[in-house]
Each structure stands twice: as C-alpha cells, then as structure tokens.
Amino acid sequence: MPDVHIREYKVEDGDEVEELFRHHTEKHLRRSTSLFYKKALNGEPPEDVVAVVAIANGRVVGFSGVKLLGEGKVMYPATIVHRDFRNRGIGKMLMKKKLEIAREKGLKEYTSIIGEENIASRRMLESLGNFEIVEKGKYDENKKWVKYAKKLT
C-alpha cells in the first residue's frame, strides 16, 4: 500500500474531491453534500467547516468534512475513500483527524446518520470507540438509517 498521509483540505484539492463525490458515493449523498462542499470550500474553508484529505502518491484518495453548527450539532458529515483504497484504514484516519479538529474548534458531540445497509461505514464509526446508536428510522419505503453519536471530551 502506498504511504498515505492526512492533512487539512487546501483549495487546490477541490477538483479531486469533487471527483471523489462524483464517482465514489451514492447518488443521494452526491447531490446535496458535494454541492455544499463545492461552495463552502471554493476559497479558504469557512471557520465552521472542518475538511481533511488523504493523500497517496501525490493525489487525493479520501475526504472527510463536516459543518459545525454548535451545541453538538453538525451538518453534511461525509467521509469518502476512493474505491481502490478502501479497507485500508483510511476512512478511520480521516475521521480521527476530522474529530480532533472539530474538538479543537469546540464541538462537544458528533452525530452522523448512516444507511443501515452501509456496514463498512458503520463498522468504521464503531471502531473509533464510544459511538453509540441513538436513533433509527427510514428515509424511504425500503431504506433505513442509523444515527450515531459520540461525546468529544
């Protein structure tokens, strides 16, 4: 496996991050989330957005971001890893860095809603420790979601 390092998002990462959204996420995530990040990160990221990337062989192979709303609330939580680099711990590294920065910015609790069938993402969150299921629901007739929360103390 190539050496992978995690760093904060830079403006020049924009095209590669957009490509990750376009080719490596589900349609429902691509539409709203990629549009949000394209606008929010088109220039220096605003203070309330935490965004990090995974770099391997000089290119972006992963992205994780979140908009901080305060009071333990977040919007647009996303973690994406290029298909060729999945199952190597990159998503977990991205999440750890994102949560570290979010904690430094004052976030006390992180919540994320994941499709019930997205076993890989659910396992990744659970492997970070202290994530608990706090709610379950449906987003259409056949699809269910699970809401996780973690205190960031």
Query: Over pLDDT 90: what percentage of the chain?
Result: 25
* pLDDT tier, 25 (very low <50, low <70, confident <90, very high otherwise): low
Q: What domains sit in the chain, N to C, each tagged with a CATH number?
A: 4-151 (3.40.630.30)
Mean pLDDT of the chain: 84
Q: At what angle do helices 90-104 and 119-127 cross, to 10 degrees?
A: 50
**pTM of the model as a whole:** 0.85
Residue 118 has pLDDT above 60, yes or no: yes
Residue 85 has pLDDT above 60, yes or no: yes
Separation CA 147–CA 23 (nearest Å): 25
- Encode pLDDT of 5-14 as tens digits: 999 998 888 8
Residue 23 has pLDDT above 60, yes or no: yes
